[in-house]
Amino acid sequence: MLDSVRNKMKLIPSIDLWYGEVVRLRRGNVNYRKIYSKEPLKVLKLWEEHKADMVHVVDLNSALGKGNNFEIIQRLLKNSRIPIQVGGGIRSYSLANKIISLGAEKVSLGTLAFENLEEFKVILRDFGEKVTLALDYSSEKVMIRGWKKDTGINLFEAIKRFKELKVKTFLLTNVNRDGTLKGLDLEVLGKVAKQGDVNIIASGGIKGYEDLLKLKKLRLYGVILGRALYEGLIRLDKAREILS
């Protein structure tokens, strides 16, 4: 039985790093970013205090080929008391292995799975359920390379393909909604949820508690909370009440 059926939906704040600062982008565009903190460790401790189930740390620099935030991520992993999923620019076995060895609960991989399937299979073989497949999509087509490159592969076809490889957890992000507070892509999430045999993490556009109520009915594994959380539209304690 998968976690999405066994447990309540996980509340997962995102810590998106751009040159060491905690930011949120709009539709993946760094030119439309908002800085929320210059101290990522303090942000992590805040979400710990508010009893987040997991934190999703994204290295935007690495994802977009503009350096990396690896030292900060190391510090977050070393000092965290709650599980951390790390994503953004993890495009090699060696880096995935290093991040997991430093204590990450999961690594979120996207581009690698489409550009080097054989290496992705080795990571999946060695780390199993520690691997989350990140499927960023626009018009139901999977996007890679920091949301910049269209693979031409249909989202549902991608899910089918990787389910056959025994991927258990998928992170779905509608890049056109990410950071917009326009609400989640419930049509796509609903279709995926009907499959019932994978763990789905929803991301991109969540705006308030009404979205959580809709996701609760879909019995998803988890939801990434970004701008709505940072701007006070959602509080973790109230969100937990809604999901209980």
Which of these is catalytic: 16, 53, 185, 211?
Answer: 16
Concatenate the DSSP letters of all residues of 128-159 into one string.
GGGEEEEEEEETTEEEETTTTEEEEEEHHHHH
Distance, CA of 23 to CA of 1 (rounded, Å): 36
Which residue has tokens 């430093």? Answer: 102
Distance, CA of 20 to CA of 4 (rounded, Å): 33
In terms of C-beta density within 10 A (0-12 exposed, 13-18 middle, 19 or more buried), how is residue 80 classed?
buried
Q: Please confirm, yes or no, whether 237 is among the known catalytic residues.
A: no
Which of these is catalytic: 53, 59, 126, 136?
Answer: 136
Q: Please confirm, yes or no, whether 178 is among the known catalytic residues.
A: no
Which amino acid, residue 134?
A
In terms of C-beta density within 10 A (0-12 exposed, 13-18 middle, 19 or more buried), how is residue 164 classed?
exposed
Catalytic residues: 16, 136
